[in-house]
């Protein structure tokens, strides 16, 4: 894509409405995977009601919090995965609470949930029954081991799911050597995988609904989602008995890998021969890389000395010097950036990847957008995560449920 094509001055039909304008989501989910899926829908313009217990989503209690002290509105995890939603508090241990939930589900396009099959049945939200009652409803579940399968009731946490899926072993493989413990990736990436798989499948179900007129059940096991991210290496391990032995290298790759520079680390990856040649050029054509006739020696024939020389070269330079030298010679490389460096990079500033959202309790902060820009539709306005129960009174809005404010107050549905 040339930059011209993205220039708003170039004639384009005017932007259409936001992607999910006019669609409604009810979310009954906590922590990361389910909330991440519905946050993606909410940020794309779907009106999203998050149902919370009186003490709120578990993520509200997950450290760390905006300083100075823990507060149910300022957990970074809570804030990150609940943008653009409205919060409705319902006590689902009460008949009235369950009735309201039924009515909200009846009026929605998509139900996002992370509840186990047993819990859904207890709430009279059995997916098959819901599908019969509401043929256009999309019931979208992300659970640790799926709605179907004998592991559905297993106790688990993000740690045990990352290991049960192979995802942690996959991270471990990147360390190069063949010993040591399997390792979770940083942040909450493994859990987020369940969320993106669910959101992808919801969009597929929305297309099917537009085309064929019916909803359906979307069943994502978050462990299956994590597993799929390593499907290539898992397949080779299973079908081919593991990868061929690696050449003797450090840092995880035959052709660069993790390099320590004077001010931090950098990753260089040069699998193609022209990229390797670029790395050698960037280093100033050291003699060890060439044979007597002046041709580049096959990399696989080079041993530890080559790795040592590359490492020594990198150590004497900053990340930025190595990065620019390699990139300007078509050798793919990237500095290991801190999150703060990503946020302050010129690249992301120009792309507008972060936008600042205000919040009634937490300080204003920069939030990442979706990783793609749809150039034909307007961006939906985003808002920060809702205060607990801040939209409870919305259950009385006529298009959402039959409750009048007076009825709802009498039934204890709203305060």
Partner 1 sequence: MTTTTNGQSQQNGQNGHHGRLRAATRSGPLSGKRIIDFTWAWAGPYGAMQLALLGAELIKIESITRIDHSRQRSLAMGSFKGGVNQAPMFNEVNLNKYSIQLNLKLEGAKQVIRDLARTADGAIDNFRPGILEKLGLGYDDLRKENPEIVMLSASALGATGPERNYTGYAPTFAAMSGLSYLTGEPQEPPVMMGGSIDLRAGTAAAMAMLAGFHYRERTGRGQFIDASSSEAIGMHIAEEFLHVDLLGSDGDRLGNGHRAYAPHDVFRCASMRAPEAYTDDHKGAKSGWIAIACRNDQEWNSLCECSGLDHLREDPRFRTGLKRWKHRDELKPMIEAWTSEQSAVETAETLRAAGVPAAASVWGSDIHHSENFQSRGGAVSVRPPETALRHVLPPPWKLSATPAEIVSPAPRLGEDTDYVLSRMLGYDQDKIDALAREGALE
* Cα 33–chain centre separation: 8
In the complex, least distance from residue 53 CB atom to partner 1, rounded to whole angstroms? 17
Among 28, 107, 229, 280, binds partner 1 (CB under 8 A): 229
User: Does 8 participate in binding partner 1 (rule CB under 8 A)?
Assistant: no
Binding-site size, partner 1 (CB under 8 A): 160
Question: Residue 389 CB, nearest distance to partner 1 (Å)?
Answer: 22
- Report yes or no: 25 and 109 within 8 Å, Cβ to Cβ: yes
**Residue 370 binding partner 1, by CB under 8 A:** yes
Stretch in the footprint of partner 1 (CB under 8 A) among 88-96, 195-203, 390-398, 402-410: 195-203
Using CB under 8 A, pick the residue from 118, 121, 122, 236 that binds partner 1. Answer: 236
Render the burial of 204-229: b for 16+ CB within 10 Å, e for the rest.
ebbeebeeeeebbbbbbbbbbbbbeb
How far apart CA 36 and CA 23 sit, in angstroms, is 17
Q: Which of residues 336-355 bind partner 1 (CB under 8 A)?
A: 336-343, 345-348, 350-351, 353-354
> Which residue from 94, 95, 262, 373 is in contact with partner 1, where contact means CB under 8 A?
373
**DSSP annotation of 63:** S
CB of 408 to partner 1, least distance (A): 33
Among 8, 9, 177, 211, binds partner 1 (CB under 8 A): 211
Map the footprint of partner 1 across residues 43-62, applying CB under 8 A. Answer: 44
- What is the smallest separation between the CB atom of 103 and partner 1, expressed in angstroms? 24
Tell me which stretch binds partner 1 (CB under 8 A): 48-56, 104-112, 180-188, 398-406: 180-188
74 binds partner 1 (CB under 8 A): yes
What CA–CA distance (Å, rounded) separates 316 from 283?
Answer: 12
Collect contacts of 177-185 with beta carbons under 8 A, ≥24 apart.
184/158, 184/159
CB–CB of 105/125 below 8 Å?
A: yes
Contact flag: residue 375 with partner 1 (CB under 8 A): yes
User: Least Å distance between CB 225 and partner 1?
Assistant: 4
Closest CA to 214 of 134, 105, 107: 134
Among 94, 129, 136, 246, binds partner 1 (CB under 8 A): 246
Site residues (CB under 8 A) for partner 1, limited to 252-281 = 252-255, 257-258, 260, 265-267, 269, 271-272
Q: Is residue 217 near partner 1 by the rule CB under 8 A?
A: yes
Which residue's entry shows tokens 């709605």?
Answer: 147
Q: Where are the alpha helices (DSSP H) in 180-291?
A: 189-212, 222-229, 231-239, 273-282
Residue 352 · residue 379 · CB < 8 Å:
no
Q: How many CB atoms lie within 10 A of CB 410?
A: 12
Instruction: Report how far residue 188's alpha carbon sits from residue 62's, in angstroms, rounded to the nearest whole number.
Output: 12
Closest to partner 1 by CB, 79 vs 100, is 79
Nearer to partner 1, 101 or 205 (CB): 205
**Least separation, in Å, of the C-beta of 19 and partner 1?**
5
> How far lies 253's CA from each of 249, 288, 325, 329, in Å?
7, 19, 19, 19
**Of 107, 125, 140, 36, nearest in space to 57 by CA:** 36
Q: How far is the CB of 70 from partner 1 (least distance, A)?
A: 11
Residue 380 interacting with partner 1 (CB under 8 A): no
Name the minimum Å distance from CB 415 to partner 1: 29
Q: Residue 360 contacts by C-beta under 8 Å, 6 or more apart in sequence?
A: 73, 387
User: Residue 4 or 294: which CB sits closer to partner 1?
Assistant: 4
Binders of partner 1 in range 100-159 (CB under 8 A): 131, 145-146, 148-151, 154-157, 159
């Amino acid at each position: 894509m040339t930059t011209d094509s993205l220039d708003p001055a170039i004639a384009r039909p005017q932007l259409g409405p936001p992607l999910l304008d006019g669609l409604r989501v009810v979310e009954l989910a906590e922590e990361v995977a389910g909330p991440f899926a519905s946050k993606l829908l909410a940020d794309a313009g779907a009106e999203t009601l998050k149902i919370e217990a009186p003490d709120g989503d578990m993520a509200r209690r997950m450290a760390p919090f905006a300083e100075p002290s823990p507060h149910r509105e300022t957990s970074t995890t809570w804030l990150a995965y609940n943008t653009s939603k409205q919060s409705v508090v319902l006590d689902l241990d009460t008949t009235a609470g369950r009735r309201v939930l039924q009515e909200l589900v009846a009026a929605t396009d998509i139900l996002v949930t992370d509840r186990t099959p047993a819990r859904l049945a207890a709430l009279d939200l059995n997916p098959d029954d819901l599908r019969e009652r509401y043929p256009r409803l999309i019931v979208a579940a992300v659970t640790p081991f799926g709605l179907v399968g004998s592991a559905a009731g297993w106790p688990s946490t993000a740690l045990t799911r990352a290991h049960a899926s192979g995802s942690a072993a996959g991270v471990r493989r990147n360390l190069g050597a063949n010993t040591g413990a399997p390792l979770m990736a940083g942040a909450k990436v493994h859990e987020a995988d369940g969320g993106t798989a669910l959101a992808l499948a919801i969009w597929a179900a929305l297309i099917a609904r537009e085309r064929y007129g019916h909803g359906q059940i979307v069943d994502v096991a978050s462990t299956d989602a994590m597993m799929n991210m390593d499907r290539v290496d898992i397949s080779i391990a299973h079908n081919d008995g593991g990868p061929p032995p690696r050449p003797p290298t450090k840092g995880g790759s035959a052709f660069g890998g993790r390099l320590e520079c004077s001010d931090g680390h950098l990753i260089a990856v040069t699998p193609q021969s022209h990229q390797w040649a670029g790395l050698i050029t960037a280093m100033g054509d050291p003699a060890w890389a060439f044979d007597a006739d002046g041709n580049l020696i096959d990399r696989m024939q080079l041993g530890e000395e080559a790795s040592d020389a590359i490492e020594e070269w990198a150590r004497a330079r900053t990340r930025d010097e190595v990065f620019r030298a390699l990139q300007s010679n078509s050798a793919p490389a990237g500095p290991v950036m801190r999150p703060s460096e990503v946020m302050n990079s010129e690249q992301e500033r120009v792309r507008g990847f972060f936008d600042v959202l205000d919040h009634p309790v937490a300080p204003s902060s920069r939030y990442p957008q979706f990783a793609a820009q749809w150039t034909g539709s307007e961006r939906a306005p985003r808002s920060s995560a809702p205060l607990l129960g801040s939209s409870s009174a919305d259950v009385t809005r006529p298009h959402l449920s039959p409750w009048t404010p007076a009825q709802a107050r009498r039934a204890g549905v709203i305060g």
